[in-house]
């Protein structure tokens, strides 16, 4: 069996199962831990797609920074477990799940059997070259320079906003 297919099956199974586990755990900390597992599986999939830079950033930024922030807030607020996921508004929640499954089947059918307008012929060497940090950095600082600066400004605004929001009570 091809190693790539084996790795893809393992990583995608981890990603799918951990995402389902994440929304069904009653404890918020367990949800966060399963989400981190999901992010690690996604980073592996990015490596499989030759996107090295994105894989590393996924682990550093998502699994490292954002999820630590989430865990910190969960433990800070000491929220109690939900009594049961499907307890109140039962019919509405079953309806949500059924609707989600229906939309998933529709989209999966379209992706698998819809007539593609153009057959994609992947070019392995090109995609290895595209995913390197040199290439992404060159793109960021040339073609996408203004969006890059705007992203920096957005982060500054978010930092200031978070400090002001968390500083005192709503008036």
Considering only residues 9 through 38, tell me which ones interact with another protein, judged by CB under 8 A: 12, 15-16, 19-20, 22-23, 28, 31-32, 35, 38
Classify 89 in phi/psi space as left (phi over 0), alpha (psi -120 to 50) or beta.
left
Number of residues that bind another protein (CB under 8 A): 83
Q: CA-based angle 140:145:149, to the nearest 5?
A: 105
Q: Are 32 and 70 in contact (CB under 8 A)?
A: yes
62, 39 Cβ separation under 8 angstroms? yes
**CA gap 14, 42 in Å, rounded:** 9
**Binding of residue 1 to another protein (CB under 8 A):** no
Minimum distance from CB of 16 to another protein (Å)? 6
Listed in sequence order, the DSSP H helices in 78-144 are 90-113, 124-130, 133-141
Nearest distance from C-beta of residue 152 to another protein, angstroms: 8
CA distance 123 to 1: 22
Least distance to another protein, CB of residue 34, Å: 9
Q: Rounded to the nearest whole angstrom, what is the least distance from the CB of residue 113 to another protein in the complex?
A: 9
Residues 31 and 23: beta-carbon distance below 8 Å: yes
Query: Rule CB under 8 A: is residue 100 a binding residue for another protein?
Result: yes
Q: How far apart are CA 38 and CA 14, in angstroms?
A: 7
Residue 6 found at the interface with another protein (CB under 8 A)? no
Interface pick for another protein out of 93, 115, 117, 146 (rule CB under 8 A) = 93
Which member of 10, 56, 59, 85 binds another protein (CB under 8 A)? Answer: 85
Binding residues among 129-168 for another protein as defined by CB under 8 A: 129-131, 135-136, 139-140, 143-144, 147, 151, 154-155, 157-159, 161-163, 165-166
Scan residues 106-135 and list those touching another protein (CB under 8 A): 107-108, 111-112, 120, 122-124, 126-127, 129-131, 135
């Amino acid at each position: 069996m091809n190693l790539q297919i084996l790795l893809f099956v393992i990583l995608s199974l981890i990603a799918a199962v951990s995402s389902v586990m994440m929304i069904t755990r009653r404890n918020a900390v367990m949800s966060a831990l399963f989400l981190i597992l999901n992010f690690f599986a996604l980073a592996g999939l990015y490596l499989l797609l030759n996107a090295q830079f994105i894989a590393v950033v996924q682990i550093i930024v998502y699994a490292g920074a954002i999820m630590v922030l989430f865990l910190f807030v969960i433990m800070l607020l000491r929220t109690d477990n939900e009594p049961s996921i499907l307890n109140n508004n039962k019919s509405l929640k079953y309806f949500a799940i059924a609707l989600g499954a229906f939309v998933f089947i529709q989209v999966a059918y379209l992706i698998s059997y819809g007539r593609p307008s153009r057959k994609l012929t992947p070019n392995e060497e090109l995609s290895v070259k595209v995913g390197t940090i040199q290439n992404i950095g060159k793109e960021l600082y040339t073609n996408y320079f203004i969006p890059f600066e705007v992203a920096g400004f957005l982060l500054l605004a978010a930092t200031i906003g978070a400090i002001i929001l968390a500083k005192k009570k709503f008036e």
